[in-house]
Amino acid sequence: MHGTMNYLAEVKSRARRADPKQILPECKSILVLGIPYAPTANSQIASYALGNDYHDVLPQKLQALVDFIEEQLGHSFPNRYYTDTGPLLERELAERAGLGWIGKNTCLINPKEGSTFFLAEILLGIELEPDESFNTDHCGTCTLCIEACPTSCILPDRTLDARKCISYLTIELKEDIPEDLRPFMKDWIFGCDICQQVCPWNRFSQPADSAFKQLIPLPVLTSDLLLTPREFNQRFKNSPLKRPKRRGYLRNLSIAIGNKGDKKDLPMLQKALADEEPMVKAHAKWAIDQINERANHE
Protein backbone atom coordinates (compact mmCIF):
# COMPACT_ATOMS: atom_id res chain seq x y z
CA MET A 1 0.00 0.00 0.00
CA HIS A 2 3.02 2.28 -0.42
CA GLY A 3 1.89 3.71 -3.75
CA THR A 4 4.76 5.11 -5.80
CA MET A 5 7.19 5.16 -2.84
CA ASN A 6 9.09 2.22 -4.31
CA TYR A 7 12.06 2.65 -1.99
CA LEU A 8 9.94 1.14 0.78
CA ALA A 9 9.76 -2.17 -1.06
CA GLU A 10 13.39 -2.42 -2.16
CA VAL A 11 15.11 -5.50 -0.75
CA LYS A 12 18.24 -3.54 0.23
CA SER A 13 16.18 -0.87 1.95
CA ARG A 14 14.13 -3.43 3.88
CA ALA A 15 17.30 -5.17 5.05
CA ARG A 16 18.80 -1.90 6.27
CA ARG A 17 15.61 -1.02 8.14
CA ALA A 18 15.77 -4.40 9.89
CA ASP A 19 19.40 -4.03 10.97
CA PRO A 20 20.87 -0.61 11.86
CA LYS A 21 24.35 -2.17 11.83
CA GLN A 22 24.08 -2.22 8.05
CA ILE A 23 24.02 1.58 8.31
CA LEU A 24 26.63 1.94 11.07
CA PRO A 25 28.55 -1.32 11.66
CA GLU A 26 29.86 -0.01 15.01
CA CYS A 27 26.37 0.82 16.29
CA LYS A 28 25.84 -0.16 19.93
CA SER A 29 23.04 2.22 20.93
CA ILE A 30 20.40 4.38 19.28
CA LEU A 31 19.37 7.67 20.82
CA VAL A 32 15.81 8.55 19.76
CA LEU A 33 14.55 12.10 20.11
CA GLY A 34 11.18 13.82 19.85
CA ILE A 35 11.14 17.51 18.91
CA PRO A 36 7.76 19.28 19.20
CA TYR A 37 6.20 21.61 16.68
CA ALA A 38 3.17 23.86 17.18
CA PRO A 39 -0.18 22.27 16.30
CA THR A 40 -2.77 24.48 14.62
CA ALA A 41 -6.44 24.14 13.73
CA ASN A 42 -5.96 25.11 10.09
CA SER A 43 -7.12 22.85 7.26
CA GLN A 44 -4.86 23.84 4.38
CA ILE A 45 -1.30 23.01 5.36
CA ALA A 46 -0.14 20.42 7.89
CA SER A 47 1.07 22.18 11.03
CA TYR A 48 4.60 20.79 10.84
CA ALA A 49 5.08 22.40 7.42
CA LEU A 50 4.15 25.96 8.42
CA GLY A 51 7.63 26.59 9.79
CA ASN A 52 11.24 26.02 8.76
CA ASP A 53 11.99 22.73 7.06
CA TYR A 54 12.93 20.29 9.80
CA HIS A 55 15.32 18.57 7.38
CA ASP A 56 17.38 21.77 7.55
CA VAL A 57 16.93 22.60 11.24
CA LEU A 58 17.29 19.30 13.07
CA PRO A 59 20.62 18.00 11.66
CA GLN A 60 22.36 20.99 13.27
CA LYS A 61 20.80 20.10 16.62
CA LEU A 62 21.74 16.42 16.24
CA GLN A 63 25.34 17.31 15.44
CA ALA A 64 25.43 19.61 18.48
CA LEU A 65 24.21 16.73 20.65
CA VAL A 66 26.91 14.42 19.24
CA ASP A 67 29.51 17.11 19.97
CA PHE A 68 28.21 17.40 23.54
CA ILE A 69 28.41 13.63 24.14
CA GLU A 70 31.94 13.50 22.72
CA GLU A 71 32.93 16.38 24.97
CA GLN A 72 31.59 14.54 28.01
CA LEU A 73 33.42 11.34 27.07
CA GLY A 74 36.61 13.07 26.03
CA HIS A 75 36.84 11.24 22.71
CA SER A 76 35.04 10.85 19.40
CA PHE A 77 33.09 7.76 18.34
CA PRO A 78 31.36 6.44 15.21
CA ASN A 79 27.91 7.95 14.70
CA ARG A 80 25.23 8.70 12.13
CA TYR A 81 22.02 10.62 12.56
CA TYR A 82 18.75 10.89 10.69
CA THR A 83 15.45 12.68 10.79
CA ASP A 84 13.13 11.09 8.24
CA THR A 85 16.08 10.80 5.87
CA GLY A 86 17.39 7.27 6.25
CA PRO A 87 16.23 3.64 6.26
CA LEU A 88 15.22 3.40 9.91
CA LEU A 89 11.94 2.27 11.45
CA GLU A 90 11.61 5.50 13.37
CA ARG A 91 8.32 4.92 15.19
CA GLU A 92 9.29 1.37 16.16
CA LEU A 93 12.61 2.56 17.57
CA ALA A 94 10.86 5.42 19.39
CA GLU A 95 8.41 2.98 20.97
CA ARG A 96 11.26 0.74 22.09
CA ALA A 97 13.07 3.82 23.46
CA GLY A 98 10.05 4.69 25.61
CA LEU A 99 8.81 7.77 23.74
CA GLY A 100 5.26 6.51 23.26
CA TRP A 101 3.03 4.00 21.54
CA ILE A 102 2.04 3.69 17.90
CA GLY A 103 -1.60 4.76 17.75
CA LYS A 104 -4.47 3.64 15.56
CA ASN A 105 -3.67 6.49 13.16
CA THR A 106 -0.11 5.03 12.87
CA CYS A 107 1.39 8.13 14.55
CA LEU A 108 3.63 7.78 17.58
CA ILE A 109 1.74 9.19 20.59
CA ASN A 110 3.30 10.36 23.83
CA PRO A 111 0.95 10.57 26.83
CA LYS A 112 2.27 14.05 27.75
CA GLU A 113 3.12 15.52 24.33
CA GLY A 114 0.51 13.99 22.03
CA SER A 115 1.77 13.27 18.50
CA THR A 116 2.79 16.68 17.18
CA PHE A 117 6.53 16.18 17.26
CA PHE A 118 9.28 15.18 14.86
CA LEU A 119 11.38 12.07 15.36
CA ALA A 120 15.14 11.92 14.99
CA GLU A 121 17.72 9.24 15.71
CA ILE A 122 21.44 9.16 16.44
CA LEU A 123 23.21 5.84 15.91
CA LEU A 124 26.06 5.67 18.39
CA GLY A 125 29.20 3.55 18.54
CA ILE A 126 29.05 3.59 22.35
CA GLU A 127 27.06 1.68 24.96
CA LEU A 128 24.16 3.47 26.61
CA GLU A 129 21.87 2.09 29.28
CA PRO A 130 18.56 1.50 27.47
CA ASP A 131 15.35 3.14 28.63
CA GLU A 132 12.32 0.98 29.21
CA SER A 133 10.17 0.36 26.15
CA PHE A 134 6.66 1.81 26.00
CA ASN A 135 4.65 -1.38 26.25
CA THR A 136 1.11 -0.09 26.90
CA ASP A 137 -1.53 1.07 24.44
CA HIS A 138 -3.63 4.07 25.42
CA CYS A 139 -5.91 4.31 22.38
CA GLY A 140 -8.42 2.05 24.08
CA THR A 141 -11.74 1.81 22.27
CA CYS A 142 -11.37 5.25 20.66
CA THR A 143 -11.74 5.26 16.88
CA LEU A 144 -12.03 9.02 16.26
CA CYS A 145 -9.09 9.09 13.83
CA ILE A 146 -10.45 6.20 11.76
CA GLU A 147 -13.91 7.77 11.60
CA ALA A 148 -12.61 11.26 10.76
CA CYS A 149 -10.32 10.30 7.86
CA PRO A 150 -12.01 11.65 4.69
CA THR A 151 -10.53 8.97 2.41
CA SER A 152 -10.76 6.04 4.84
CA CYS A 153 -7.05 5.40 4.48
CA ILE A 154 -6.58 4.42 8.15
CA LEU A 155 -7.16 0.70 8.46
CA PRO A 156 -8.34 -1.18 11.57
CA ASP A 157 -5.02 -3.02 12.07
CA ARG A 158 -2.95 0.16 12.64
CA THR A 159 -1.74 0.28 9.08
CA LEU A 160 -2.36 2.96 6.52
CA ASP A 161 -3.14 2.80 2.82
CA ALA A 162 -0.80 5.51 1.54
CA ARG A 163 -2.48 5.47 -1.87
CA LYS A 164 -5.52 7.15 -0.30
CA CYS A 165 -3.80 9.31 2.33
CA ILE A 166 -4.10 13.05 1.70
CA SER A 167 -0.53 13.58 2.91
CA TYR A 168 0.74 11.10 0.34
CA LEU A 169 -1.44 12.52 -2.43
CA THR A 170 -0.35 16.11 -1.84
CA ILE A 171 3.35 15.50 -1.13
CA GLU A 172 4.74 12.16 -2.30
CA LEU A 173 2.61 11.49 -5.38
CA LYS A 174 4.25 13.17 -8.36
CA GLU A 175 1.52 12.25 -10.86
CA ASP A 176 -2.07 13.34 -11.40
CA ILE A 177 -4.24 12.82 -8.32
CA PRO A 178 -6.98 10.22 -8.98
CA GLU A 179 -10.24 12.04 -9.73
CA ASP A 180 -12.30 9.89 -7.38
CA LEU A 181 -10.17 11.04 -4.43
CA ARG A 182 -10.05 14.75 -5.24
CA PRO A 183 -13.38 15.73 -3.62
CA PHE A 184 -12.31 14.11 -0.33
CA MET A 185 -9.19 16.28 -0.14
CA LYS A 186 -11.33 19.30 0.73
CA ASP A 187 -8.99 22.32 0.99
CA TRP A 188 -5.82 20.49 2.03
CA ILE A 189 -2.91 21.75 -0.07
CA PHE A 190 0.06 20.16 1.67
CA GLY A 191 -0.28 17.26 4.07
CA CYS A 192 -3.21 16.61 6.40
CA ASP A 193 -3.68 16.89 10.18
CA ILE A 194 -7.20 15.53 10.57
CA CYS A 195 -6.29 12.31 12.38
CA GLN A 196 -4.12 14.32 14.79
CA GLN A 197 -6.62 17.13 15.25
CA VAL A 198 -9.31 14.71 16.48
CA CYS A 199 -6.95 12.67 18.67
CA PRO A 200 -7.77 13.33 22.37
CA TRP A 201 -4.11 12.98 23.33
CA ASN A 202 -3.18 16.09 21.38
CA ARG A 203 -4.82 18.33 23.93
CA PHE A 204 -1.45 17.97 25.66
CA SER A 205 0.58 19.17 22.67
CA GLN A 206 3.18 21.77 23.55
CA PRO A 207 4.35 24.97 21.75
CA ALA A 208 7.00 24.49 19.10
CA ASP A 209 10.72 24.82 19.37
CA SER A 210 11.62 28.42 18.57
CA ALA A 211 13.58 27.22 15.54
CA PHE A 212 10.33 26.42 13.74
CA LYS A 213 9.01 29.93 13.25
CA GLN A 214 5.96 30.18 10.98
CA LEU A 215 6.97 31.01 7.43
CA ILE A 216 3.73 30.41 5.53
CA PRO A 217 0.89 32.95 5.96
CA LEU A 218 -2.63 31.58 6.07
CA PRO A 219 -4.99 31.31 4.39
CA VAL A 220 -3.32 30.31 1.15
CA LEU A 221 -4.70 32.58 -1.55
CA THR A 222 -5.92 31.67 -5.02
CA SER A 223 -3.36 34.10 -6.43
CA ASP A 224 -0.68 31.50 -5.66
CA LEU A 225 -1.81 29.84 -8.89
CA LEU A 226 0.17 32.49 -10.74
CA LEU A 227 3.46 31.96 -8.91
CA THR A 228 6.31 31.80 -11.40
CA PRO A 229 8.97 29.09 -10.93
CA ARG A 230 11.36 31.70 -9.55
CA GLU A 231 8.75 33.13 -7.17
CA PHE A 232 7.87 29.64 -5.94
CA ASN A 233 11.53 28.76 -5.28
CA GLN A 234 12.14 32.02 -3.44
CA ARG A 235 9.02 31.78 -1.30
CA PHE A 236 9.46 28.16 -0.24
CA LYS A 237 13.25 27.74 -0.21
CA ASN A 238 13.29 27.23 3.57
CA SER A 239 9.93 25.44 3.75
CA PRO A 240 8.85 21.79 3.43
CA LEU A 241 6.38 23.03 0.78
CA LYS A 242 9.15 22.93 -1.81
CA ARG A 243 9.02 19.11 -1.81
CA PRO A 244 6.13 18.61 -4.31
CA LYS A 245 7.72 21.32 -6.45
CA ARG A 246 5.77 24.07 -8.11
CA ARG A 247 3.65 21.82 -10.32
CA GLY A 248 2.59 19.67 -7.37
CA TYR A 249 1.77 22.68 -5.20
CA LEU A 250 -0.36 24.29 -7.93
CA ARG A 251 -1.98 20.91 -8.66
CA ASN A 252 -3.02 20.65 -5.01
CA LEU A 253 -4.15 24.27 -4.87
CA SER A 254 -6.33 23.77 -7.95
CA ILE A 255 -8.11 20.87 -6.29
CA ALA A 256 -8.68 22.88 -3.10
CA ILE A 257 -10.15 25.73 -5.15
CA GLY A 258 -12.37 23.34 -7.08
CA ASN A 259 -13.65 21.79 -3.86
CA LYS A 260 -14.36 25.25 -2.45
CA GLY A 261 -16.60 25.90 -5.44
CA ASP A 262 -16.49 29.71 -5.49
CA LYS A 263 -17.26 31.28 -8.88
CA LYS A 264 -15.05 34.23 -7.94
CA ASP A 265 -12.04 31.96 -8.43
CA LEU A 266 -12.83 31.17 -12.07
CA PRO A 267 -10.77 34.04 -13.59
CA MET A 268 -7.64 32.89 -11.75
CA LEU A 269 -8.21 29.28 -12.81
CA GLN A 270 -8.67 30.42 -16.41
CA LYS A 271 -5.25 32.06 -16.24
CA ALA A 272 -3.80 28.83 -14.84
CA LEU A 273 -4.96 27.04 -18.00
CA ALA A 274 -2.12 28.82 -19.77
CA ASP A 275 0.51 27.38 -17.42
CA GLU A 276 3.45 25.62 -19.04
CA GLU A 277 2.96 22.54 -16.83
CA PRO A 278 0.42 20.02 -18.23
CA MET A 279 -0.38 18.81 -14.73
CA VAL A 280 -1.32 22.32 -13.59
CA LYS A 281 -3.51 22.83 -16.66
CA ALA A 282 -5.31 19.52 -16.16
CA HIS A 283 -6.13 20.13 -12.51
CA ALA A 284 -7.14 23.75 -13.13
CA LYS A 285 -9.53 22.47 -15.80
CA TRP A 286 -10.96 19.97 -13.29
CA ALA A 287 -11.48 22.77 -10.78
CA ILE A 288 -13.29 24.91 -13.36
CA ASP A 289 -15.58 22.01 -14.22
CA GLN A 290 -16.32 21.43 -10.53
CA ILE A 291 -17.25 25.06 -9.93
CA ASN A 292 -19.41 25.28 -13.08
CA GLU A 293 -21.17 22.02 -12.23
CA ARG A 294 -21.97 23.25 -8.74
CA ALA A 295 -23.23 26.56 -10.14
CA ASN A 296 -25.53 24.73 -12.53
CA HIS A 297 -27.13 22.87 -9.63
CA GLU A 298 -27.76 25.95 -7.55
- Cα distances (Å, whole numbers) of residue 6 to 29, 132, 190, 292: 29, 34, 21, 38
CB-side neighbour CA atoms (13 Å) of 190? 24
Q: Which of the following is catalytic: 19, 84, 176, 262? A: 84
Identify the CA nearest to 38 among candidates 160, 202, 186: 202
What are the residues facing 190 on neighbouring strands?
45
Within 8 A by CB and 6+ apart from 275, the residues are: 250, 281, 284
Active site residue 53: no
d(CA 125, CA 135): 26
Q: Which DSSP string do the residues of 1-55 spell out, in sequence order?
A: --TT-GGGT-HHHHHHHH-GGGT-TT--EEEEEEEE------SSB-GGGGBS-HH
CA distances 56 to 75, 187, 237, Å, are: 27, 27, 11
User: What is the set of active-site residues?
Assistant: 84
